[in-house]
């Protein structure tokens, strides 16, 4: 397994809290002043959508920035503000906005008919390519990451005849009942580290279902071994991100994934790598290829379909048998939709080819190094982490290993301020303390420099 070099850890200067809070207020005011039209859209949108957004992940304070268009690495909001996009649609747009190859493939398909609910050749080609990339022979298609992980859970339960699902504490796998458990629990809700409580992520999930999902801490094979021993014969699957990407980025420690693989095999537990975020972004074969550990199921979505809403589930021949023989029903009117398949085919075969991954890796390493230099120069209490097209500055003065670290070590105020300063300086970033940037093949050195300029502005502002 190849691991990234250890991250640079800043030597924490005294951060003036009052100054940081004042700067947050100022920057919030500035963002509101720069986006009045988004404010108007928000008022209108609230009349017809809760929180004024199609998905609660898009909400923001004081309102979301409504986007008008994007091209390459750039996006423009409804007020005409131009940004370099490091949000990239929650890590979807590695291909860059309005990518000509994808646009051409989709336009061609539009003229040939967009939906039949009967298979087309596109789904065969994409399944063949995914098999090659991820080393799993059988694939089905879905419409989102949520559907991919839901189907993975169904297949694992159907194949093993067991009900319990294990997941990693502090991980998000979409919004179906089996995985809306222990996503972002509060410190006081966590319970014992060796036997964490199953905490529902909001209301609407029956307790009986929540109780069937148990969580374990990331990067701790010993804790997993003890749970598997205790629950021997009951656990259908362990679903996990091989590198956590919803609480900044936390890579696996040396040997962890290998041990997870060994333990799950020993206990007959289906190992599901949720590669919705890592799949098409950190190597051609995602984390599976990058870390060299083979799971039984891989779940994909996001960047795989180049900006169209699609997902996929890959599995072993043995697991696929439960779908083939009708034990598990994997359905969906839009599964393998020709438009989505055309976009996925162009993404995987024409755009995100091996050279594209090399380019993304180089650009990401340059951006991480640039941030490291600023962190060192200003002595900031943070460090960088990155894999493939993805990276972030983690606002903690020592590396995170798991969710419990994230809860107590990450500085929310500094994260919030950095986000605001970036937004006010033409860097479109994912809102939320827990997020990371995603680069696209359209990002040039000049785009990266704009990020570094904004980050330096933030560093200067808190250093007085
Ligand atoms: C790791 C992971 N799995 C699953 C999902 C759910 O994907 P979707 O939003 O397409 O349903 C997400 C979404 O952010 C994710 O990050």
DSSP string computed for 196-252? E---BSSSSS-HHHHTTEEEE-TT-HHHHHHHHHHTTTTEEEEEE-SSB-SSS-BPP
Indicate whether 5 pLDDT > 70: no
Report the sign of the C-alpha dihedral through residues 431, 437, 439, 442, in that order: positive
Catalytic choice (77, 151, 277, 302): 302
The predicted model gives 153-176 an average pLDDT of: 98
Whole-angstrom distance, CA of residue 421 vs CA of residue 461: 9
> Is 234 labeled as catalytic in the residue annotation?
no
- Peptide bond connecting 62 to the previous residue in cis, omega within 30 degrees of 0: yes
Indicate whether 12 pLDDT > 70: no
> Is 172 labeled as catalytic in the residue annotation?
yes
Indicate whether 329 pLDDT > 60: yes
Percent of the chain exceeding pLDDT 90 equals 94
Whole-angstrom distance, CA of residue 346 vs CA of residue 329: 29
pLDDT band at 460 (very low <50, low <70, confident <90, very high): very high
Q: Give per-residue pLDDT as tens, 51-74.
A: 999 999 999 999 999 999 999 999
- Helix-then-strand count for the chain, H and E: 16, 16
User: 274 in ligand 1 pocket by Cβ < 6 Å?
Assistant: yes
Tokens of 112: 């040939």
User: 146 in ligand 1 pocket by Cβ < 6 Å?
Assistant: yes
Tokens of 437: 């940037």
pTM of the model: 0.96
Tokens of 7: 């991250």
Whole-angstrom distance, CA of residue 148 vs CA of residue 168: 17
User: 246 in ligand 1 pocket by Cβ < 6 Å?
Assistant: yes
In the reported structure, the alpha carbon of residue 432 is separated from the centroid of ligand 1 by a whole-number distance in angstroms of 15
Catalytic choice (172, 256, 403, 406): 172
pLDDT band at 2 (very low <50, low <70, confident <90, very high): very low
Q: Give per-residue pLDDT as tens, 206-245.
A: 999 999 999 999 999 999 999 999 999 999 999 999 999 9
Q: Are strands 74-77 and 67-71 parallel, antiparallel or unpaired?
A: antiparallel
pLDDT of residue 14: 74
Catalytic choice (74, 77, 220, 274): 274
Q: Give per-residue pLDDT as tens, 109-133.
A: 999 999 999 999 999 999 999 999 9
pLDDT of residue 13: 57
Tokens of 69: 């268009």
User: 390 in ligand 1 pocket by Cβ < 6 Å?
Assistant: no
pLDDT of residue 464: 73
The predicted model gives 12-29 an average pLDDT of: 89
Q: Which residue's CA lies nearest to atom 16 of ligand 1?
A: 277
Q: Give per-residue pLDDT as tens, 419-456.
A: 999 999 999 998 878 889 999 999 999 999 999 999 99
Whole-angstrom distance, CA of residue 218 vs CA of residue 168: 6
Whole-angstrom distance, CA of residue 161 vs CA of residue 84: 49
Indicate whether 369 pLDDT > 60: yes
In the reported structure, the alpha carbon of residue 327 is separated from the centroid of ligand 1 by a whole-number distance in angstroms of 26
> Is 302 labeled as catalytic in the residue annotation?
yes
Query: Does residue 370 sit in helix, strand or coil?
Result: helix
Nearest Cα to Cα of residue 143 among 115, 183, 184? 115
> Cα torsion at 406, 176, 123, 346 (round to 10°)?
-40
Whole-angstrom distance, CA of residue 241 vs CA of residue 425: 32
Nearest Cα to Cα of residue 170 among 203, 144, 197, 207? 197
In the reported structure, the alpha carbon of residue 174 is separated from the centroid of ligand 1 by a whole-number distance in angstroms of 5
Indicate whether 38 pLDDT > 70: yes
Those residues whose C-beta lies under 8 Å from the C-beta of residue 399, and which sit 6 or more positions away, are: 6, 7, 9, 383, 385
Nearest Cα to Cα of residue 213 among 142, 153, 274, 295? 153
């Amino acid at each position: 397994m190849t691991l990234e070099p250890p991250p640079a850890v800043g030597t924490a200067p005294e951060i003036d809290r009052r100054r940081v809070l004042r700067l947050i207020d100022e920057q919030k005011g500035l963002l509101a002043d720069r986006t009045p039209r988004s404010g108007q859209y928000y008022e209108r949108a609230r009349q017809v959508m809760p929180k004024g957004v199609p998905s609660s992940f898009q909400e923001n304070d004081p309102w979301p920035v409504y986007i008008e268009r994007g091209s390459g690495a750039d996006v423009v909001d409804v007020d005409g503000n131009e940004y370099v996009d490091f949000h990239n649609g929650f890590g979807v747009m590695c291909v860059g906005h309005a990518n000509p190859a994808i646009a051409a493939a989709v336009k061609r398909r539009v003229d040939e008919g967009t939906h039949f609910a009967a298979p087309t050749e596109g789904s065969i080609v994409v399944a063949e390519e995914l098999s090659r990339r991820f080393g799993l022979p059988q694939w089905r298609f879905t419409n989102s990451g949520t559907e991919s992980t839901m189907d993975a859970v169904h297949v694992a339960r159907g194949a093993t005849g067991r009900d319990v699902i294990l997941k990693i504490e502090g991980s998000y796998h979409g919004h179906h009942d089996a995985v809306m458990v222990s996503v972002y629990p509060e410190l006081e809700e966590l319970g014992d580290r060796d036997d964490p409580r199953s905490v529902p992520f909001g209301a609407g999930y029956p307790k009986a279902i929540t109780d069937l999902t148990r969580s374990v801490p990331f990067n701790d094979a010993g804790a997993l071994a003890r749970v598997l021993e205790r629950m021997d014969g009951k656990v259908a699957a362990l679903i996990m991100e091989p590198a956590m990407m919803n609480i900044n980025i936390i890579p696996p420690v040396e040997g962890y994934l290998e041990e997870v693989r060994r333990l799950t095999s020993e206990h007959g537990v289906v190992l599901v790598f949720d590669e919705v975020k890592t799949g098409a972004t950190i190597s051609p074969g995602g984390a599976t290829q990058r870390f060299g550990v083979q799971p039984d199921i891989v779940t994909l979505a996001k960047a795989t379909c180049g900006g169209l809403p699609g997902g996929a589930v890959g599995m072993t021949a043995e697991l696929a048998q439960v779908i083939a023989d009708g034990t598990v029903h994997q359905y969906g009117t839009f599964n393998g939709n020709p438009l989505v398949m055309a976009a996925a085919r162009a993404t995987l075969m024409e755009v995100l080819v091996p050279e594209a991954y090399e380019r993304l890796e180089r650009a990401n390493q340059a951006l991480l190094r640039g941030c490291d230099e600023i962190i060192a120069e200003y002595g900031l209490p943070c460090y960088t982490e990155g894999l493939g097209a993805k990276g972030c500055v983690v606002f903690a003065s020592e590396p995170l290993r798991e969710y419990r670290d994230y809860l107590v070590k990450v500085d929310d105020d500094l994260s919030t301020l950095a986000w605001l300063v970036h937004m006010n300086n033409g860097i479109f970033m994912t809102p939320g303390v827990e997020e990371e940037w995603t680069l696209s093949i359209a990002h040039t050195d000049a785009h990266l420099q704009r990020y570094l300029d904004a980050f330096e502005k933030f560093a200067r502002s808190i250093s007085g």
